[in-house]
Homo-oligomer: A and B are copies of this chain.
Amino acid sequence: MPYSMAASHMAGKSATDKIFGAAAAANAAKAKLGRENVVDATIGVLLDNSEKLVVLPTVEKVYKSLPMAEIAPYAGIAGQPDFLEMVQVAAFGDNKPEAYTKAVSTSGGSGAIHHTIWNYSELGDTILTHDWYWDPYSVLSDAMLRKLDTFSLFDAANKFNIESFASKVNELLARQTSLVVILNTPAHNPVGYSLSGDEWDQVLEVLKKVKADKKITLLVDVAYLDYAGEKNATRAFMKKFGGLPENILVIVAYSMSKGYTVYGMRTGAMIGISSNQDVAAEFANINQYMSRATWSNINRGAQQLLTAIYKDAAAQAELEKERAAYYKMMAERAELFTTEAREAKLAMVPYIAGFFLSIPAKNPDAVCTRLRDDNIFAVPLAKGVRVAVCALPAGKVKGVPTKIAQALAEVDK
């Protein structure tokens, strides 16, 4: 055993990042064979069809015009007041729920999940999410001394599995008094699913049936909201968060990373939604407290960027037009992929929108390793293979589904 200084709960921990490993292999192949001969579907950022990083033009224009006096000083601990107002406009659109709402700035969506787990679950509690999930949910739970359990995202008809959801919620609440549930929708990472309005109604019905002495915090990770379809249609579910019982707190984890293509600025917000004014006030208090105890405050320039855009109707309209164009670009790539997948009899997890689509596999590592022989690079997940349509140019899709089908046939045992 190597000598260790770590606290007992951290000893031996380290992040093995499969995304990083896959991306490194793809880069090595590009260096050897030339970029044009490699299919790199590992990258989780938006690349255009010539594989150039997309920075939305309105974002660049507004950010580059900010004076240093709006970038350099500290932001408020909870966030800049204007930002905390405008981020709700950005998140809710026309679908602000009838409820008390409060926003607190966070380090992207990750920061919102961090605060939610720490502030709304007990040490040792189990957090619940779907079985296809963004891997860091387990790191966040584990590092903060919680467990992560999953329900089946899909039923046999490839629709949201409400029975599995209900059964897990009730099972966990039989042994703990509060429960944090994480749902990633719309444009789910890693599969691209979006819950329908009816499915949302079913989810909320399950939660409303929970006894009043149990507490539910429902975190909705909307990281891909702005590439999920028409703006207000994709936000319609948020209206349903009004008028819920006071033992259900909904938290929308809003990230600027993808919607503004400023992944590296580390800015977002958690927006608490409650029918009880005390719960909303407590939300502002305890999350501000935790911010002071974690990162102190959040990137001021990025907050000013969002504020400047959402206070300017023309800039907002321009930004939304730019997002719509890239949504369409990804939809076209996914359509090419899906059509060929059907011909190649390659089963896919239901994709509606978003940066990623997934292929179920029994042995995702073996499949991804086999694909490297064809100069195709994708990310192995627990339940399948993730293909980043955000980064895969339309011109490189052809042949990929067929080759994945072959790799599955050869090595997926």
Additional A-B contact list (12), CB under 8 Å, known A15-B77, A63-B71: A10-B286, A10-B289, A14-B285, A64-B64, A64-B68, A74-B263, A107-B294, A107-B295, A114-B293, A143-B292, A265-B300, A266-B299
Given A5-B217, A110-B295, A274-B5, check contact A266 B264 (CB 8 Å). Answer: no
Contact A279 B246 (CB under 8 A): no
Chain A residues within 8 Å of chain B by Cβ, number: 82
Is A400 close to B, CB under 8 A?
A: no
Residues in chain B near residue A266, CB distance under 8 A: 266, 295-299
Is A90 close to B, CB under 8 A?
A: no
Per the bound structure, the CA–CA distance linking A119 and B298 in Å amounts to 22
Interchain residue pairs A-B with the least CB separation, the first 10:
A264-B300, A143-B293, A2-B278, A107-B295, A14-B285, A110-B296, A74-B263, A55-B68, A13-B289, A10-B286
Number of copies: 2
Given A2-B282, A3-B276, check contact A299 B265 (CB 8 Å). Answer: yes
Contact A249 B5 (CB under 8 A): yes
Question: What residue in chain B is nearest A298 (Cβ atoms)?
Answer: B266
Contact B296 A136 (CB under 8 A): yes
Interface residues of A (CB under 8 A from B): 2-11, 13-15, 17, 44-45, 53, 55, 60, 63-64, 68-69, 71-75, 77, 107-108, 110-111, 114, 118-123, 136, 139-140, 142-145, 178, 215, 217, 246-247, 249, 257, 261-266, 274, 276, 278-279, 281-283, 285-286, 288-290, 292-301
